[in-house]
Amino acid sequence: MWVKLLSAFVLLGLVLGIGFIVQDNDRERTDAAGPGTGSAEQPARTAGGIVMYETKPDSGSSLVIHAASATEGRDRVVVLEEFRLEQSNGLKLTGDRARYDSDRALLDIIGPVRVNTADGWQADLNGLTWDRKTKKASTDRPLVVKGAQGTITADRGEFFDDFNRILLAGDVHANLSPHLLHH
């Protein structure tokens, strides 16, 4: 009886002991990672003058980002300064500052940004969020879209299919070519 009881206590002690060791190991790992792990505010490293290529092996599509500097957070979110982004379908974006979350394929542009599409349209925006997975981008600030067929201004806009379709909202004004209206 006593032997059984003693064995139970020893077993309980071992289980608790292992529990403490596991806890200590976890604490060590957290400490080693340092404060601010997982935060984009804690830069892991900065590089000046970078060219970043993002490719998909099973398709010809690619994205090239040129930036005067890139600061990568520990969560792999990269803050780009003075960037130019070119997609293989001819789409180009240029701006002063952007955050690119490569895991989520989410580009968040802060401040002025110019979008040029392969078919000759140009949009000047102030701030843009582009979800490259869903191919949808949006801005909630005034924008100007210019092309050979005219100029359109609006309070906000949404872009679909990598900027191939545009939905403008708010105070929308269009100054279109008479040639276009005849058709």
Partner 1 sequence: MRGETIRYLVLDADGVLTDCRLYYTDDGREIKSFNVRDGHGIKLLMRAGIGVAIITGRYSKAVEHRAKDLQIEYLVQGAKDKKAALLNFSQQVGVGPEEMAYMGDDVVDLPAMALCGMSIAPNDAADMVRERADIVTSMRGGHGAVREAAEMILRRLGLFEKAMERYVG
CB of 9 to partner 1, least distance (A): 48
Note whether 53 binds partner 1 by CB under 8 A.
Answer: yes
CB of 159 to partner 1, least distance (A): 21
Number of H helices, E strands in the chain: 2, 12
Query: In whole angstroms, what is the distance from residue 128 CA to residue 125 CA?
Result: 7
Note whether 55 binds partner 1 by CB under 8 A.
Answer: yes
CB of 98 to partner 1, least distance (A): 15
Note whether 50 binds partner 1 by CB under 8 A.
Answer: yes
The single residue among 40, 52, 106, 110 that binds partner 1, judged by CB under 8 A, is: 52
Cα–Cα nearest to 73, from 93, 95, 99? 99
Query: In whole angstroms, what is the distance from residue 167 CA to residue 86 CA?
Result: 22
Note whether 54 binds partner 1 by CB under 8 A.
Answer: yes
Cα–Cα nearest to 95, from 119, 115, 70, 77? 115
Query: In whole angstroms, what is the distance from residue 140 CA to residue 118 CA?
Result: 24
Note whether 106 binds partner 1 by CB under 8 A.
Answer: no
Query: In whole angstroms, what is the distance from residue 34 CA to residue 30 CA?
Result: 7
**Residue placing its CB nearer to partner 1 in the complex, 57 or 178:** 57
Instruction: Enumerate binding residues for partner 1 (CB under 8 A).
Output: 47, 49-58, 62, 64, 66, 70, 76, 102-103, 105, 133
